[in-house]
């Protein structure tokens, strides 16, 4: 039986004690979690979870306010400065990720699910516009699985539309039947990216297509996590987010290694191409704190079902006590 979490929820600005303890180094921010700092009696123990507003602009503003508040503690002892600076770096990471993702709580809340659906629709439209080049990109993995691009796209769109309908109608049993299809789409997209990651030329000559496919992978991972949550499989929902984080790290690390070692390709990269690739890799890095946050809020939602939907409507950053 779920515990009523309402008495545990407070707006973070109404908890000056928490902000003060972050400033003096007793607490630390880890993603969206406030923990006791290492070296304290309760080192690593969770104090509470931060839940951000559902609106991305509100989240940006509240994160900026929180950064400003924490910054006021920089006049304290040197050890405290280090602790505060580390917490501010975490906030900056979440801020960048929030702007890139156009909203947090994507894998849990209904509003976040709609955002993911719209992003996938946009990616599908771009893929169709570039169908010939995408088909050539996929052709390189014909030894894994040959696909007719248009048939694949139609099947993919049907899957996302059906999942959205079942989620909105609360058809849990029907959602469970879609999980395998989502895994198939995710794994296929990952296999294409894995095939191209060791090919330095792909990261340059096929950059636009690789970026589209990685965007699809990212949003597929979030959609799969949401479907798992709605189907009552919170453990697997959290695993989906964790796997997505690992996949993004591994793919981008592989690209960096290959591009760094292939002098022939490196010598032909233009300034514009270098800037595009650098920005792409940097954006991938910026998404990692938000994925850690997604995993944390899934765990929080598991303990207090429905809490995220209620709290994310607030305009303040909320602290849910452990």
Query: What pLDDT does residue 92 have?
Result: 57
319 occurs within a structural domain = no
Of 56, 71, 102, the position where a domain reaches its end is 102
What 8-state DSSP symbol labels residue 140? T
Say what the pLDDT of residue 146 is.
47
Same domain, residue pair 115 and 199: yes
Final residue before a domain boundary, out of 102, 137, 170: 102
Q: Are residues 97 and 161 in the same domain?
A: no
Q: Domain boundary residue among 102, 118, 136?
A: 102
**What pLDDT score does 1 carry?**
43
Q: What stretch of H or E contains 47?
A: strand 46-51
- Contact between residue 24 and residue 80 where contact means Cβ atoms under 8 Å apart: yes
Same domain, 39 and 150: no
Burial state string for 76-91 with b = 16 or more CB within 10 A and e = fewer than 16: eeeebeebbeebbebb
Whether 272 and 139 map to the same domain: the answer is yes
CA–CA separation, 256 and 258 (whole Å): 6
**DSSP symbol at 77:** -
Concatenated DSSP letters of 150-217: HHHHHHHHHHHHHHHHHHHHT-HHHHHTTHHHHHHHHHHHHHHHHHHTT-HHHHHHTHHHHHHHHHHH
Instruction: Retrieve residue 46's tokens.
Output: 């969770």
Q: Is residue 320 part of a domain?
A: no
Q: Is the dihedral of CA 100, 104, 108, 114 positive or negative?
A: negative
The model carries a pTM of 0.70
Determine the 3-state secondary structure of 33 from DSSP.
Answer: strand
Domain contains 260: yes
Shared domain for 97 and 145, answered yes or no, is: no
Residue closest to 200 by CA, chosen among 276, 250, 264, 274: 264
d(C-alpha 26, C-alpha 36), whole Å? 6
Looking at the structure, tell me whether residues 97 and 169 fall in a common domain. Answer: no
Does 91 share its domain with 135? no
Asked whether residue 135 falls in the same domain as residue 221, the answer is yes
Q: What is the pLDDT of residue 77?
A: 43
Q: How far apart are CA 240 and CA 234, in angstroms?
A: 10
Cα 85 from chain centre: 23
Same domain as 209, residue 156: yes
pLDDT at residue 145, as a whole number: 46
Does residue 28 lie in a domain region? yes
Q: For the chain, which residues score pLDDT lower than 70?
A: 1-8, 31, 54-56, 70-112, 128, 130-151, 312, 322
Within a domain: residue 322?
A: no
> Which tokens belong to 286?
């910026």
d(CA 268, CA 32) in angstroms, rounded, equals 42
Span 137-152, pLDDT tens digits: 666 555 444 455 666 7
Q: 316: which residues sit within 8 A by CB, 6+ positions away?
A: 11, 12, 13, 53, 62
Give the N- to C-terminal CA distance of the chain in Å, as an integer: 17
Residues 123 and 11 in one domain: no
DSSP labels, 262-281: -HHHHHH--HHHHHHHHHHH
156 and 96 assigned to the same domain: no
Residue 316 lies inside a defined structural domain of this protein: no
Query: Are 162 and 283 contained in the same domain?
Result: yes
Residue 217 near residue 188, CB atoms below 8 Å: no
Residue whose entry in the numeric block shows the structure tokens 């049907």:
158
Q: Give the residue among 71, 99, 106 at the shortest CA–CA distance from 85.
A: 71
Within-domain flag for 22: yes
Helix axes 179-196 and 207-230, enclosed angle (nearest 10): 150
Range of the domain at 16: 6-102
Are 229 and 237 spatial neighbours (Cβ–Cβ below 8 Å)?
Answer: yes
Residue 315 in any domain: the answer is no
Interacting residues of 279 by C-beta distance below 8 A, sequence separation 6+: none
Domain count, the chain: 2
């Amino acid at each position: 039986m779920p515990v009523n979490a309402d008495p545990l929820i407070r707006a973070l600005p109404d908890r000056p004690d928490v902000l003060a303890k972050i400033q003096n180094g007793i607490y630390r921010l880890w993603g969206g979690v406030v923990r006791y700092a290492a070296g304290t009696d309760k080192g690593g123990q969770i104090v509470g979870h931060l839940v951000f507003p559902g609106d991305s602009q509100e989240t940006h503003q509240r994160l900026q306010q929180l950064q400003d508040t924490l910054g006021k503690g920089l006049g304290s002892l040197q050890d405290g400065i280090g602790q505060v600076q580390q917490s501010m770096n975490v906030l900056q990471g979440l801020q960048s990720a929030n702007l890139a993702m156009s909203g947090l709580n994507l894998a849990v809340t209904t509003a976040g699910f709609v955002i993911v659906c719209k992003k996938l629709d946009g990616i599908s439209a771009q893929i169709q516009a570039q169908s010939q080049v995408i088909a050539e990109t996929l052709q390189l993995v014909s030894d894994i699985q040959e696909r007719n691009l248009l048939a694949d796209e139609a099947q993919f769109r049907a899957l996302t539309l059906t999942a959205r309908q079942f989620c909105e109608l609360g058809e849990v049993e029907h959602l469970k039947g879609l999980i395998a299809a989502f895994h198939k789409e995710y794994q296929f997209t990952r296999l294409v990216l894995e095939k191209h990651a060791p090919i330095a030329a792909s990261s340059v000559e096929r950059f636009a297509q690789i970026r589209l496919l990685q965007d699809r992978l990212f949003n597929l991972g979030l959609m799969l996590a949401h479907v798992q949550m709605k189907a009552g499989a919170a453990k697997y929902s959290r695993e989906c987010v964790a796997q997505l984080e690992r996949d993004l790290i591994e793919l981008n690390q592989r690209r960096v290694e290959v591009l760094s070692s292939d002098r022939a390709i490196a010598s032909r990269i233009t300034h514009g191409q270098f800037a595009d690739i650098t920005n792409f890799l940097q954006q991938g890095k910026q998404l990692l704190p938000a994925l850690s946050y997604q995993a944390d809020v899934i765990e929080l939602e598991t303990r207090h079902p429905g809490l995220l939907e209620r709290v994310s409507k607030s305009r303040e950053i909320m602290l849910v006590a452990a």
